[in-house]
């Protein structure tokens, strides 16, 4: 293992020597990155439409579960909560029930998504949503749907509290140092442009990219 690491370090040093950084160009490069960051950052309206969508899905949950008295809360997570999204980003949602002590089985999660799917199929017939597609064969079952008004794709999962917690932690770190948020945001944009930001295609998901940025800054 030590030999492999030394070879890798030697190879890295050789590559770095062939890519010399000119100090006078760094300020120009930094200015370019800041411009990209500013252009791609969401506008106030992007925050508003996503909050409205979260409210709409909570109303749908009340419509589905109202008489039962066990109405779940549809909670946002992912890039929106991290504040690392842009106008075309998907909106990740988790359907969370009150009783955290009861473990939700895989089958029960699928049953919950099917209830939402039936409601969304009805809304699809009226042109309110499109692309309703349950992905139940995945390790984490997801219901995909696109809001026709905003064209935002929503990925709905069930009891994804781990995702909610991680998103809040990343948001907290971003609030401590703007440089971490900027670098994470730009790295996500770069990974997307290079087609290496899609877990379904066996590449890095957004959280993995952000954790790599955090590790880089730590070392």
Percent of the chain with pLDDT over 70: 97
CA distances from 184 to 10, 119, 147, 180, 207 (A): 28, 36, 27, 6, 10
Least confident of 8-12, 34-38, 59-63: 8-12
DSSP category for residue 27: H
Q: How does residue 183 score in pLDDT terms, banded at 50, 70 and 90?
A: very high
Cα–Cα distance for residue pair 111/122, rounded to 1 Å: 17
> How confident is the model at residue 7, as a pLDDT?
85
Kindly report, residue by residue over 167-180, the tens digit of the pLDDT.
999 999 999 999 99
Cα–Cα distance for residue pair 184/202, rounded to 1 Å: 20
DSSP category for residue 88: T
Q: What is the Cα 191 distance to its own chain's centre? A: 13
What domains, with CATH codes, occur in the chain?
A: 44-160 (3.30.460.10)
> How confident is the model at residue 102, as a pLDDT?
67
Say whether pTM exceeds 0.75: yes
Q: Which residues of 74-102 are buried (b: 16+ CB within 10 A; e: fewer)?
A: bbbbbbbbbbbbbeebbbbbbbbbeeeee
């Amino acid at each position: 293992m030590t030999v492999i690491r030394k070879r890798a370090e030697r190879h890295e040093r050789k590559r770095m020597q062939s890519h010399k950084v000119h100090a006078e160009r760094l300020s120009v490069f930094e200015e370019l990155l800041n411009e990209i960051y500013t252009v791609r950052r969401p506008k106030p309206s992007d925050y508003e439409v996503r909050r409205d969508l979260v409210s709409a899905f909570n109303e749908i949950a009340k419509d589905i579960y109202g008489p039962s008295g066990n109405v779940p809360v549809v909670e946002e997570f992912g890039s929106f909560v991290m504040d690392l999204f842009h106008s075309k980003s998907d909106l990740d949602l988790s359907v969370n029930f009150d009783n955290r002590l009861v473990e939700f089985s895989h089958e029960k999660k699928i049953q919950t998504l099917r209830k939402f799917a039936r409601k969304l199929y009805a809304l699809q017939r009226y042109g309110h949503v499109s692309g309703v597609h349950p992905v139940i064969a995945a390790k984490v079952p997801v219901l995909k749907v696109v809001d026709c008004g905003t064209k935002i794709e929503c990925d709905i999962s069930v009891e994804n509290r781990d995702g909610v917690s991680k998103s809040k932690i990343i948001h907290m770190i971003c609030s401590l140092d703007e440089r971490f948020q900027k670098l994470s945001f730009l790295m996500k944009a770069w990974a997307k442009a290079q087609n290496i930001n899609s877990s379904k295609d066996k590449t890095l998901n957004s959280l993995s990219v952000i954790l790599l940025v955090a590790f880089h800054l730590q070392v």
